[in-house]
Amino acid sequence: MRRAIVLPAIGILGLTMAAGCGGHDMGASSAKAKPLDGPIVIGMAVARSGFAASYDLGPSRGAELAVADINARGGVLGHRLELKYGDTKSDRALGTTVGIDLLSHGAEVMLVTCDFDLGSPAAIAATSKNVVAVSPCAGSSQFGVPTLGPLAYSLGTMSAAGATNVAQFAYDRGYRKAYLWRDPSVTHTKETCSAFESRFGSQPQAKVVGSDTIQQKDTSFAGQIARLRKSGADVLELCSYNPGAATALRQLRAAGVDIPVTSHVGMDGDYWLKGVPNLKNFYYDAFGSLYGDDPRASVNDFFSRYKAKFGEPAVTSFALTGYATIQVIAKAIETAQTTDGAALAKAIDGLGSYETIAGPTGFGAKQHIVTGRPAVIMGVEGGRGKPVATYAGGRKTAEG
């Protein structure tokens, strides 16, 4: 299915670029780009209903906070930012329709769903019309230039980069025998386990002693738990997501297996912890702590403002990436002085290590997803998460 979507898209992009050698030339487009006129409309082709709505809600609200802040300071080059929503209903097929609809309503930049599979249709609809598309937090390496072309970006941390940090954290804690639970249902979890295995297995005296497949909709993980128990592993890397991951964890702890479990940013938040009572020894990487104890004051301030504005606390730290996305877009428009796709992409690529609320974010001409951003490693003890260390590029940069 993905290939069916992506291959025609590559074809369309190829034709667009070939036919428009003069029109969208990266070097010349600034001069030809249309000047800014009226409010700058940012299309929000996100899931507002269906299963992905819970993933998109936080980043969308983060984007709203950023737009309010920027407009309060006078907008970008004197132009107000305006968000225009379309609901993809968590349906890949609708992504294209919603993207095209938002373009027809004047969208000059497009925000898309936090997942490659769901976000790429709207991204392709935008980029094929020379409009920059950004996913606030897609983690798949496919969200990049080779697959989606030079106008698509993700402010998410690449799955492999996150897993490398977590693998190093596990090694630094003294664990030497890792066991992997692989969930093959999405690209993000597959890439997470591969990168963890590669990093952890390459450390001195460390070894991946076994692995098992877990399926998202399984109701029993008894077999996997029995094999893990026999393996003698001292840490489990759980490459899955909720609700399946919480189910596996619940059954693991119920079976009396209390070895440390490491996981990834998809397990951020406390909404699922009631299902695994008194969970401890569980670690994952996050964009930040949403409990008011992040090492960065700006992050704590963000989450308290989020709660004040929306009347409820953020569910996950993904909300930070929505804010960061608007920060990057605003800065790039300021630099390019246009929203023309090619010129804006050139400006984003040229931002270098740009400081956002989610940490420094840097892109290059061939690197359109974040890799080096610091990750806060969260530890869950007694059913509550708290920051235990900060890692970046596979090494510890700070305690707590």
Partner 1 sequence: MSAVAQNLINALSLGSLYALIALGVALLFSIMGLINFAHGELIMIGGYALLWFAGLPFAVTAVLVVGVVIGCALAMERAAFRSVRGATGETLLMTSFALSLLVQGGALLFEGADPKSVDVLGSLGASVEVAGVSVGKLDIAIIGVTAVLLLGLAWFLRATSLGVQMRAAAEDFGMARALGVRANLVVAAAFGMSGAFAAIAAIFLVASTGALTPAMGLKPVLVGFVAIVLGGLGRLWAAALGAYVLALLSVMLQAYLPDGVAPYRDALVYFGIVVILMFRPHGIAGRPGAVRV
Query: What H or E segment, with its residue span, contains residue 45?
Result: strand 40-46
Binding residue for partner 1, selected from 10, 12, 28, 53, defined by CB under 8 A = 53
Interface with partner 1, residue 87, by CB under 8 A: no
Burial of 386 (C-beta count, 10 Å sphere; 0-12/13-18/19+): middle
How many other CB atoms are there within 10 angstroms of residue 274's CB atom? 10
Q: Give me the least distance between CB of 189 and partner 1, in Å please.
A: 11
Q: Tell me: does residue 311 bind partner 1 (CB under 8 A).
A: no
CB of 217 to partner 1, least distance (A): 5
Residue with Cβ nearer partner 1 (9 or 279): 279
312 binds partner 1 (CB under 8 A): no
Q: State in angstroms the smallest separation of the CB of 90 from partner 1.
A: 8
Phi, psi angle pair for 362, to nearest 5°: -135, 140
Place of tokens 């953020």: 314
Binder among 97, 215, 335, 371 for partner 1 (CB under 8 A):
215
Helix ranges (DSSP H) in 173-296: 187-201, 222-231, 244-254
**What pairs with residue 286 in β-bridges?**
376
Instruction: List Cβ<8 Å contacts ≥24 apart for 1-10.
Output: 1/92, 2/117, 2/120, 5/92, 5/120, 5/121, 5/124, 6/120, 6/142, 6/147, 9/120, 9/124, 9/128, 9/148, 10/147, 10/149
Q: Does 83 bind partner 1 (CB under 8 A)?
A: no
Verify binding: residue 352, partner 1, rule CB under 8 A: no
Least distance from partner 1 to the Cβ atom of residue 222, Å: 4
**Does 240 participate in binding partner 1 (rule CB under 8 A)?**
no
Site string for partner 1, 168-207 (x = CB under 8 A): --------------x-x-----------------------
User: What does the binding site for partner 1 look like in residue numbers (CB under 8 A)?
Assistant: 49-51, 53-54, 90, 182, 184, 211-213, 215, 217, 219-220, 222-224, 226-227, 229, 242-244, 246-247, 250-251, 253-256, 271-277, 315
